[in-house]
Amino acid sequence: MERIAVDMDGVLADTTEQFFLFDERDFGRRRTLEEVIGKPESVAFPKGKEYVRTKDFFRTASVVSESQNILNELNRRYEIFVVSAATEFPQSLLEKYEWLREHFPFITWQQIVFCGSKTIVEADMMIDDHFKNLDPFKGTTFLFSQPHNLLQNEGRHRRVNSWKEIADILL
C-alpha cells in the first residue's frame, strides 16, 4: 500500500485564514491577497511570529475545504500519515493533536507524526505547502497552493489548488 505524508498547517488546517483573522483583530482591517501573496507569513503579517506562539492559534483554526471527506477516502486506499513540523512551537503539540482528534477522528494516534524536520519522512508521496519540506523529499510531491507560495516556480512539484484536485489525481 502506498504511503502519503500529509502536512497539517496550510493543507488540512487553514492557518492562512488564522493569520488573516489575528492580523485583522490587531490592525483593524483585513489585508488583501495582493498584500500577502508571495511573502512568508512572518513577513506578510507583522505579528505572524507572535501569532504562532499564541495559545489557541492552532487549536481554533478552521478546516481546509473538502479536506475531511477526501482525506477520509484516501485513508481507505492509502497509508496516510499527518506530518507536522510542530516541535518548533512546543505549545502547539497538544493543540494540534486535539484539533486532529476533533476534525479528523479517523486518523489514529499512530498516523500522527510531530517532528522538527520533515527530511526524516519516508513515504511515496507528500502533500505540503512549503518548498523546504518538498524539495528534499524523494517521492512524488504535491505543492498545496497558499498565498505564500503562489509566486514561486514549483519546479518538480505538482501544484494542487484544492482537495478536489487531490481527489481527482489520487482517487
Active site annotation includes 14:
no
The CATH number assigned to the domain with range 3-14+61-170 reads: 3.40.50.1000
pLDDT, residue 152, reads: 80
Phi, psi of 113 (to 5 degrees): -125, 115
**Which of 148, 131, 127, 52 lies closest to 96, judged by CA?**
52
Active site annotation includes 9:
yes
Catalytic residue among 9, 14, 23, 128: 9
- What confidence tier does 154 reach under pLDDT thresholds 50, 70, 90? low
pLDDT tens digits, one per residue of 91-101 = 899 999 999 99
**Which of 96, 93, 121, 123 lies closest to 11, judged by CA?**
96
Per-domain residue ranges of the chain: 3-14+61-170, 15-51
Catalytic residue among 7, 14, 128, 129: 7
